[in-house]
Chain A
Amino acid sequence: MTLKQTSSTRSLRGKTAVIGAALSAVGRVPGKSALALAADAATKAMADAGIGRGDIDGVLSSHAFAAPFHRFSVAISEYLGIQPTFSNTLQVSGATAATMFNIAAAAIAGGLAETVLVVGGDSLLTGLSPDLALRSMTESRDQQYEMPFGIPVANTFAMTAHRHMKEFGTTAEQFAKVAVTQRDHARRTPGAQMTGPLTVDDVLNSGMVTTPYHKLDCSLISDGGAAFIVTSAERAKALGIAKPIYILGGGECYTHEHIFLMPSLTTTGAVQSSAKAYAMAGCGPKDIDVAGVYDCFTGTVIMILEDLGFCAKGEGGPFVEAGQMTYGGAVPCNTHGGLLSFAHSGMPGSLFHFYEVVNQLRGRCGERQVAGAELGLVHSLGAGFATNATTILGTEATL
């Protein structure tokens, strides 16, 4: 199957900006429902932007496993006392986060809304038993052709990583280096779930989950919510926002539903989604100062670093090993610790990458600050690489 690249003169570049960003408490947060976590983040994001509930006319959200409303975006609106005139609950698994930003920008640029609350919250750690949390993950696989074989979501990603090892000689140590690098980042992030020191040997000795992935190659199970306020560039200016972070480009790609129909196990739809986002933003991988790369598993990061163009196909392992995804390297990635060490509360997990990249671009990351960060990229993905979405963000200097 060949994938068609669309080119369009229409563009979202610089038309909208993130003017507020906030997280609820994340990690182990007992006694808070998914809606409460989402609402907490939303209230803080509005305060961060200096706006009130009455200023929000659009609400986009992800689903929550622990609060399985069919219309979570409508439920959270009611919870917050908002009656939006634009709303949707998006579901493309882990890629949902970036699609929320892309669609918020498109809705605002197209006149469907002026100011959109992007929000997600879930309590996978304390709101569901561990077995049910895992089961909730397996239920996203096909009932007829995948689930009867006992295939956890981890397994679909593991088979791609395994094939990457076979084709390119990528090693278990290189996978482990991703976890170690991100743990080093998390150790400097207030509120991160995992902050103890971590070595490559610790990862390799952490017990096999599904080959080639050990326990510490896998992301966390967490509670937590995140919320953002996205508005038009004009409105951001009128509000006198000190440092709006502009949405410069977005792209998505959906290559398959079943893992056995993935065109190549080692090259993902991130190639197409990022190509679209780069083209819209008018930049390339070499221009990106800081990135949030979806990291449900360590090998996922290695494959996506390649597909986003930060290194050549097959060179992701050596790239990570050489320190290119941390400070002083080609592109500091997941500087908050990512899903592997900061937190992973399901659909909102990738919103934490957005929170970090937005704050890096706002210069608010303290000792984690990437010096001179002006242009950022977040890549979200899910469902065994079935879904890929990229968003490129930048400061006023990048317009």
Chain B
Amino acid sequence: MINPKDAHIKPLPMPDADSQAFWLGINEGKLLLQHCQACGHVQYYQQAICRACGSEHLEHRAASGRGKVHSFSVVHRAPGPAFKQDTPYAVILVELEEGPRMISSFVGADPAVVSFDMAVELVCESAGGGVSLPRFRAA
């Protein structure tokens, strides 16, 4: 059964064997992308094989941290009590300079300023419990 107490706790990433390096990188302020040495594909998120060609030869490289907003949605009604005090906040779909897209949230200014194709840059922020999250602010 769903435990009512859980609904008040913000979910934090639980790194697994695939993603450990990624979350360590975020804690150090770096957004690691996987570059395939066989086909050149660049991917987010972290996994054991290249999604384009299946190669296992993947190399971590830190992203520039620059990107633009491909789409976004400003949340006024939180998904459960854990996020209630944060509203309104902007969830953004960032297209990174290197190509991949990722989900993140906008920080550092009123969410009302977020717009399509807006330039943003990475900020790795502590989310408590020794975990940081990759968020973005206006560039």
Contact = CB atoms under 8 A, between A and B. Distances in A.
To the question of whether A and B form a pair in one complex, the answer is yes
B19 interface: yes
Given A132-B7, A144-B14, A260-B100, 8 more contacts: A138-B79, A150-B75, A151-B103, A152-B78, A155-B73, A155-B91, A160-B71, A258-B103
B77 interface: yes
Contacts of A159: 71-73, 91, 93
Contact of B13 (A145, A151, A259): A145
B54 interface: no
A143 B11 CA distance: 7
A260 B93 contact: yes
B103 A259 contact: yes
B40 interface: no
Interface in B59-89: 70-83, 86, 89
A150 B91 contact: yes
Interface residues of A, number: 44
Interface in A138-186: 138, 143-155, 158-160, 162-163, 166
Contacts of A153: 79
A244 B52 CA distance: 45
Nearest to B89: A150
A163 B71 contact: yes
Nearest to A129: B4
Interface of B: 1-2, 4, 6-7, 10-16, 19, 23, 44-45, 51-52, 70-83, 86, 89, 91, 93, 100-105, 116, 127, 133, 135
Nearest to A157: B73
A211 B74 contact: yes
A138 B77 CA distance: 13
Contact of A145 (B72, B73, B76, B102): B102
A261 interface: yes
B70 A163 contact: yes
24 contacts: A1-B52, A131-B7, A132-B2, A135-B6, A135-B7, A138-B79, A149-B103, A150-B10, A151-B91, A152-B75, A153-B79, A155-B79, A155-B91, A158-B73, A159-B72, A160-B71, A162-B73, A166-B116, A207-B76, A209-B75, A259-B103, A261-B101, A265-B71, A265-B93
B101 A210 contact: no
A260 B70 CA distance: 10
Given A135-B80, A259-B103, A162 B72 contact: yes
A162 B114 CA distance: 12
Contacts of B102: 145, 260
B79 A149 contact: no
A80 interface: no
Contacts, number: 128
A150 B70 contact: no
A265 B76 CA distance: 22
A132 B80 CA distance: 7
Nearest to B13: A144
B135 to A, nearest CB: 8
A68 B3 CA distance: 12
* The 6 A-B residue pairs with the shortest CB-CB distance in the complex, in nearest-first order: A152-B79, A158-B73, A150-B83, A135-B80, A138-B79, A144-B13
A91 to B, nearest CB: 16
Contacts of B78: 150, 152
A208 interface: yes
Nearest to A162: B71
Nearest to B93: A159
Given A131-B7, A149-B133, A159-B93, A143 B71 contact: no
Given A131-B81, A260-B44, A260-B102, A143 B14 contact: yes
Contact of B79 (A134, A143, A260): A134
B104 A150 contact: no
A30 B16 CA distance: 41
A210 B90 CA distance: 9
Interface in A53-95: 65, 68
